[in-house]
């Protein structure tokens, strides 16, 4: 999809966890249980600050390379099992479906770009509303599509290529979304619905517009720098 004639963005790349579905705290619980299962204690606050990274990045970041080498694959399997057990407690976030519709209606190619695996993304799209996703989303990108997930730039870069975007912008809830977008050479807007404080978000993206949640972004979308 080419850029619009006035040079505005032609695609929006939407993070899912913490941006469209309220799953970040369930991820913290799932990771905590996984680490406990291999006898490693990681404080919940440290886990929360790492949510938004892909599992390939998170283990070493919060527990060190020795734990990654010894237990990385087992931890990721345990996290997924524990998270699936909590999935019925994951609701859609306010404005998520409206954001998909609003971006689509403004001529943007909409891509879901999640550090989760493809099967988890399917579960999350069902929470958002499969009918809305099918009507508005042009492509999806997951950890299965890249060698390195967020905060590496691969996920957003691949997402933009899937729709032939010339100027894409990302929307996410975490510092890792901001870092990933910048690594991919694109702008980013951030929402607070993932539970990260403004200082952490601003530290990674001082120039990024900041919104309470997807509903707040929709309400201010036409005046947003996101569309400049």
Whether 122 has a pLDDT exceeding 90, the answer reads: yes
Per-residue pLDDT tens for 79-115? 999 999 999 999 999 999 999 999 999 999 999 999 9
pLDDT recorded at residue 3: 38
Whether 28 has a pLDDT exceeding 60, the answer reads: yes
pLDDT recorded at residue 1: 27
State both tokens at 76. 């990721």
Q: Distance between CA atoms of 16 and 56, rounded to whole angstroms?
A: 18
pLDDT recorded at residue 8: 87
State both tokens at 50. 């790492």
Q: Distance between CA atoms of 167 and 146, rounded to whole angstroms?
A: 20
The closest alpha carbon to 150, from 82, 55, 37, belongs to 55
Average pLDDT over residues 122-132: 97
Q: Which residues pair with 171 in a beta bridge?
A: 14, 189
Query: H-helix or E-strand containing 11?
Result: strand 11-14
Whether 227 has a pLDDT exceeding 90, the answer reads: no
Average pLDDT over residues 129-156: 96
The closest alpha carbon to 150, from 52, 75, 27, belongs to 52
Q: Count CB neighbours of 85 within 10 A.
A: 13
pLDDT recorded at residue 77: 97
Per-residue pLDDT tens for 178-222? 999 999 999 999 999 999 999 999 999 999 999 999 999 999 999
Q: Distance between CA atoms of 95 and 114, rounded to whole angstroms?
A: 18
Which is more confident, 5 or 26? Answer: 26
Q: Distance between CA atoms of 195 and 206, rounded to whole angstroms?
A: 17
Which pLDDT band, with edges at 50, 70 and 90, does 226 fall under?
confident
Which pLDDT band, with edges at 50, 70 and 90, does 4 fall under?
very low
């Amino acid at each position: 999809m080419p850029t619009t004639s006035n040079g505005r963005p032609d695609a929006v790349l939407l993070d899912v966890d913490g941006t469209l579905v309220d799953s970040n705290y369930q991820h913290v619980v799932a990771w905590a249980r996984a680490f406990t299962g291999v006898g490693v204690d990681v404080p919940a606050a440290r886990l929360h600050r790492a949510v938004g990274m892909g599992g390939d990045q998170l283990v070493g970041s919060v527990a060190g390379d020795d734990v990654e080498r010894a237990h990385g694959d087992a931890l990721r399997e345990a996290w997924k099992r524990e998270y699936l057990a909590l999935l019925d407690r994951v609701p859609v976030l306010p404005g998520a479906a409206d954001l998909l519709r609003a971006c689509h209606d403004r001529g943007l190619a909409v891509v879901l770009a999640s550090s989760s695996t493809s099967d988890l993304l399917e579960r999350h799209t069902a929470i958002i509303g499969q009918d809305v996703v099918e009507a508005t989303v042009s492509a999806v990108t997951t950890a299965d599509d890249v060698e390195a997930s967020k905060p590496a730039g691969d996920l957003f870069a691949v997402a933009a290529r899937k729709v032939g975007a010339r100027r894409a912008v990302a929307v996410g809830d975490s510092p890792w979304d901001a870092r990933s977008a910048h690594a991919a050479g694109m702008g980013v807007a951030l929402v607070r619905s993932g539970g990260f404080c403004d200082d952490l978000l601003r530290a990674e993206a001082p120039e990024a517009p900041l919104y309470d949640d997807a509903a707040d972004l929709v309400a201010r979308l036409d005046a947003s720098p996101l569309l400049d």
